[in-house]
Amino acid sequence: MAPDANALRDAELVIFDWDGTLYRSIDLIQTSIVAAGHELGAEVSSEIARSIIGLGLKAAQKLLFPDKSDNDKAFFTAFHLAYRRHYEAGEAAIELYAGAYELIAALDAQGRRVAVATAKSRAGINRSLETTGLGAFVRHTRTPEECLPKPHPQMILEILTESGFAAGQAVMVGDTTHDLQMAINAGVAGVGISHGAHSHEDLAALNVAAVCRSIAELRQVIA
């Protein structure tokens, strides 16, 4: 049963995805995936590129390049280097979604714990937290470099253990079905936000606690 509105506002631990949830990076990630594939002679549709955002590396590779095997290591190495080059070339222009900084600061001021569970690299999330200023408020972070990737619940479970909170005291906010399935797998309330990678309809189909269309709407739901 989905928690009521008061339960979401009372959650003591609020875990956020990063890309497409707080950070307006989805378009850059999508175009970088497509451009990197094109460089290597592998045409990737924008729709597929967008759909795999947030997935673990191996699962994403199989969807992007179904004709490649895990043994094609040289191809995947070249793809990841090309992707990183394209992404980092545009990263300086990326900003938080409007109201995201204020929401996180408000949660911190309420005495609530803020965490991030992201598909970004460790270096990438550390850099983003520093440049956006949100590192001052985010107390716990997990990436696929330390944990199994989404939708496996390990990131959330480790954040729960590290923070000392139980699943019933937490909420997970994300813009993809991968984020929300991770919340379901961890036994944590899930809240979708549909300004990122996946559609409002796809997020709502998972029957989570709420699906919001903007940070302003999200703030009304959880803060």
Whether residue 147 sits in one domain with residue 53: no
Q: Mean per-residue pLDDT for 113-140?
A: 97
Whether residue 42 sits in one domain with residue 31: yes
Q: Flag whether pLDDT at 1 surpasses 80.
A: no
Report the domain count for the chain: 2
Q: What is the pLDDT of residue 2?
A: 47
What CATH number is attached to the domain comprising 214? 3.40.50.1000
Q: Flag whether pLDDT at 126 surpasses 70.
A: yes
Reported pTM: 0.94
Going by pLDDT thresholds of 50, 70 and 90, the confidence category of residue 4 is: low
Secondary element (H or E) of residue 223: none
Domain boundary among 36, 70, 92: 92
Whether residue 73 sits in one domain with residue 170: no
Whether residue 202 sits in one domain with residue 122: yes
Q: Which domain holds residue 75?
A: 26-92
Whether residue 197 sits in one domain with residue 160: yes
Structure tokens at 65: 């390049």
Q: What is the pLDDT of residue 190?
A: 97
Whether residue 156 sits in one domain with residue 110: yes
